[in-house]
Amino acid sequence: MEQIERLQRTIRFAAGTEPAELLLVNARLVDLLSGEIYPADVALADGLVVGIGDGGSVSYPAKERIDLGGSFLAPGFLDAHVHVESSMVAPAEFARAVVPRGTTTVISDPHEIANVLGLEGIRFMLECAKGSPLSMFVMAPSCVPATAMSSSGAALDAVDLASFRTSPWVLGLAEVMNFPGVVGGDPEVLAKLVAFADRPLDGHAPGLSGRALAAYVASGIGSDHESTTIDEAREKLRLGMTIFLREATNAKNLRTLLPLVTAANQHRFCLCTDDRQPADLLDDGHIDHLVRLAIAGGVDPIVALRMASWNTAHHFRLHDRGAITPGRRADLVVFDDLRAPRPRLVFRRGQLVARDGEALVAAPKQAARLRGTMNVDWSAIDFAIPAEGRRLRAIGAIPDQLVSRHLVEEARIEDGVAAADPARDLLKMAVIERHHGSGGMGKGFVKGFGLGQGALASSVAHDHHNLVVIGADDPSMATAARRAAALGGGLVVAAGERVLAEVPLSLGGLMSDRPIEEVRRELDRALVAAGELGSTLHDPFMAMSFLALEVIPSLKLTDRGLVDVDRFELVPLWVE
């Protein structure tokens, strides 16, 4: 009965027999359904668009009016795939950063926090998003843990994931990164697909092609955001995948793929950010940035806005949003330049939530709490590497790439242990298990960081997020690692016994509980400090975080040891 009364009320608003709460007059309505832009007055009530006036024969009574002065009015933006954790701030703070940019809905994959805290981590994200001016939907993380060659904080099987099916905020299964498992018919992987067979299943299939790609698609996976070439994306498009055009901090594919978008296939593309760091969110923006890039790249503005809104809503079966029509949510953006949209007003469920890039609603207090996640058995931790040969494997970091080289180097042996050799840019690296206090630790060497002294530590280390440390000497490494643990997680720069800079990330060792501007300043300072120690990389912390990711070639280090990713197995440090 309540539903009927609500519907009656909506109908009265739409019929104009009851005055709307707010009338946006003098708008140029960007109609993503008809593909037109026309003058309109838009009536809002009860969080919904209730009517469209034409300034002539169709008009709406309203209690309040805002004159948009001929500005463009479009539906709010959606991010088709984002790891909120990569913003290094909690969901409410993330919302404060992206809502003023026009993003009113995100489809998030809480894969990082789930690797640390499992179901508890996912619940935390959902809980944090409550009351924020952003609809944060969740795709159930499909790959926790990524492999058995590292130690995650949690493991989620199909039964665990299915427990989220009843949440209205959980839409489907997040990017299935284990594509060999899908193509090989691994029953544990397929059980997860089956658990969400009637929902959107997101893909992640870099470079997959031909029959292997067909097998991946035949499993029911319907999207991909990993294409790096036009040919790769075209094949996926033809095989039925929705293509998410990605512009992340560390993976920028949008401009490369834009030429594939045509009038005939425009409905098959969505925009996504995947991972964006604080500085990028604050300086460039969020989905609005991608819209501007697309338009600058030659895409029709209406098509760009469609990829930013309707297409994504439609793909994820969010039938209540993505267009400005009676009965749909009043999630709206107002901007003045159709060639470079910058939202000057953002409405969410009919409320003005941002103006001129600033959020107007206070981020809600952090409601949910998380337990500490830095559980290291320091008595078992020893950075020394006994000399067991003359030549050893070393990871070769490549600037701005996630892949690494598999090198073999002469060891520098001192007092029976293998030491770093900064003169040759051969640094020590350690990955310390930090979830269960197991005392597990992988040790190795890395080239390409350039540190002449000191050490860097980070609790952000994809995907298992153990504690990764790179340094020129053991005391610096110990200082950095212990400080990161003492902070409850974070990024640390140290030299000898001194901590030079730090970014506390107390929420799962991944996110800060403070404002994004503050996190960004701390991160900037940490990068400067790393540079002063000799770091030659644009962002050594991000580089570190991927040197522990054992699913991207060629040589990586986890808490269980060195992984030859090409052979997909653990290998010894010493080669002779």
- Chain residues in the site for a second copy (CB under 8 A): 3-4, 7-8, 10-16, 31, 33-36, 38, 48, 50-52, 57-58, 60, 182-183, 185, 187, 190-191, 193-194, 197, 210-212, 214-215, 217-220, 234, 237-240, 262-265, 267-268, 302, 317, 323, 325-328
| Cβ-based nearer residue to a second copy, 12 or 355 | 12
| Cβ-based nearer residue to a second copy, 177 or 555 | 177
Going by C-alpha positions, the residue among 146, 46, 186 that lies closest to residue 550 is 146
Q: How far is the CB of 193 from a second copy (least distance, A)?
A: 7
Q: How many CA atoms lie within 13 A of 192 on its CB side?
A: 30
| Contact call for residues 368 and 127 (beta carbons, < 8 A) | yes
Q: How far is the CB of 12 from a second copy (least distance, A)?
A: 7
Q: How far is the CB of 407 from a second copy (least distance, A)?
A: 34
| Cβ-based nearer residue to a second copy, 242 or 250 | 242
| Cβ-based nearer residue to a second copy, 73 or 128 | 73
Q: How far is the CB of 32 from a second copy (least distance, A)?
A: 9
| Contact call for residues 444 and 559 (beta carbons, < 8 A) | no
Look up residue 241 and give its DSSP letter.
P
Q: What are phi and psi of 292, to 5 degrees?
A: -65, -40
| Cβ-based nearer residue to a second copy, 267 or 342 | 267
Q: How far is the CB of 8 from a second copy (least distance, A)?
A: 4
| Cβ-based nearer residue to a second copy, 218 or 380 | 218
Q: How far is the CB of 282 from a second copy (least distance, A)?
A: 34
Q: How far is the CB of 326 from a second copy (least distance, A)?
A: 4
| Cβ-based nearer residue to a second copy, 308 or 548 | 308
| Cβ-based nearer residue to a second copy, 5 or 576 | 5
Report the interhelical angle of 540-547 vs 516-532 (nearest 10°): 90
Pairing of strands 135-140, 103-108: parallel
Rounded to an integer, what is the distance from CA 125 to the centroid of its chain?
Answer: 13
Q: How far is the CB of 99 from a second copy (least distance, A)?
A: 24
Cα 160 to Cα 136: distance, rounded to the nearest angstrom: 20
List b or e across 322-342, with b for residues whose CB sees 16 or more CB atoms inside 10 angstroms: bbbbbebbbbbbbbeebeebb
| Cβ-based nearer residue to a second copy, 60 or 124 | 60
Q: How far is the CB of 59 from a second copy (least distance, A)?
A: 9
Distances in whole angstroms, Cα of residue 243 to Cα of each of 352, 539, 552: 32, 29, 22
Query: What is the amino acid identity at position 532?
Result: E
| Contact call for residues 50 and 14 (beta carbons, < 8 A) | yes
Query: Where would I find the beta strands (DSSP E) of 356-466?
Result: 358-359, 391-397, 404-410, 412-414, 417-419, 426-432, 441-447, 455-458
| Cβ-based nearer residue to a second copy, 35 or 452 | 35
CA end-to-end distance (rounded Å), the chain: 78
Q: How far is the CB of 56 from a second copy (least distance, A)?
A: 10
Going by C-alpha positions, the residue among 416, 501, 514 that lies closest to residue 454 is 501
| Contact call for residues 363 and 132 (beta carbons, < 8 A) | yes
